Chain A
Amino acid sequence: MPGFFNKKLIILLTSLILLVALIGFSLKERTKLSWPEQFVHDTVGWFQFVFNKPAQYAAGLFENIEEIRNVYKENKKLKAELRDYAELHAKYYDLKSKYENLEKQLHVDALSASKAHIAPVIGRSFDQWNQMIIVGKGSQSGIQKGMAVLTPEGFIGRVTSVSQFTSEVTLITDPSDNNQISAFVVTKGGKKYNGMIEGYDQNKHVLLLKKLPIDAKIKKGDFVMTSRLGGVFPDDLLIGKVVSVKPDPYGLTKVCEVEPAADFNNIDYVDIIEKTSLSPNGVDTP
Chain B
Amino acid sequence: MQVFSPAWFGLHFVSVPHFVLMGTIMVGLFYDRTQAVWYGLFFGFLIDLIYTNVWGVYAFCISLTAYVLSYLARVFHLYLIIVFFIGLAGVVLLELEVYGIYGLIGKITMGFSDYLEWRLMPTLVVNGVFLLIIFYPFRRLLLRMALEQTDE
Contact = CB atoms under 8 A, between A and B. Distances in A.
Contacts of B49: 37, 40-41
B5 A27 contact: no
Contact of B1 (A124, A175, A202): A124
Contact of B16 (A18, A128, A266): A128
27 contacts: A18-B56, A23-B55, A23-B56, A26-B55, A27-B105, A40-B50, A55-B1, A56-B1, A56-B3, A59-B2, A121-B1, A123-B50, A124-B1, A127-B16, A127-B51, A128-B16, A128-B119, A129-B107, A129-B108, A130-B51, A130-B107, A133-B1, A175-B107, A177-B106, A203-B110, A203-B114, A265-B5
A25 interface: yes
Contact of B17 (A126, A130, A266): A126
A52 B3 CA distance: 9
User: What interface size band does chain A fall in?
Assistant: 35 or more
Contact of A62 (B4, B53, B102, B105): B4
Nearest to A52: B1
Interface string B95-124: 000100110011111100010000100000
A56 B1 CA distance: 7
Nearest to B60: A19
B52 interface: yes
Contacts of B52: 125, 127, 129-130
A266 B55 contact: no
Contacts of B14: 128
B119 to A, nearest CB: 7
Nearest to A44: B50
B46 interface: yes
A58 B3 contact: yes
Interface in A243-286: 265-268
Nearest to B55: A26
Given A44-B50, A55-B1, A127-B16, 12 more contacts: A15-B60, A23-B55, A40-B50, A63-B8, A121-B1, A123-B1, A124-B1, A125-B52, A130-B51, A133-B1, A134-B50, A202-B109
Interface in A12-59: 15, 18-19, 22-23, 25-27, 37, 40-41, 44, 52, 55-56, 58-59
Interface of B: 1-5, 7-9, 14, 16-17, 46, 48-57, 60, 98, 101-102, 105-110, 114, 119
Interface of A: 15, 18-19, 22-23, 25-27, 37, 40-41, 44, 52, 55-56, 58-59, 62-63, 66, 121-130, 132-134, 160, 175-177, 202-203, 265-268
B53 to A, nearest CB: 7
A267 B56 contact: no
Contact of A23 (B7, B16, B98, B105): B105
B7 A40 contact: no
B8 A265 contact: yes
Contact of B51 (A23, A125, A268): A125
A160 B51 CA distance: 13
B76 to A, nearest CB: 22
Interface centre among B5, B53, B101 (most CB of A within 10 A): B53
A207 B17 CA distance: 27
The 4 closest A-B pairs by CB, nearest first: A22-B56, A265-B7, A26-B55, A121-B1
A160 B50 CA distance: 13
Contact of A127 (B1, B4, B98): B98
A55 B3 contact: yes
Contacts of B55: 22-23, 25-26
B60 to A, nearest CB: 5
A266 B2 contact: yes
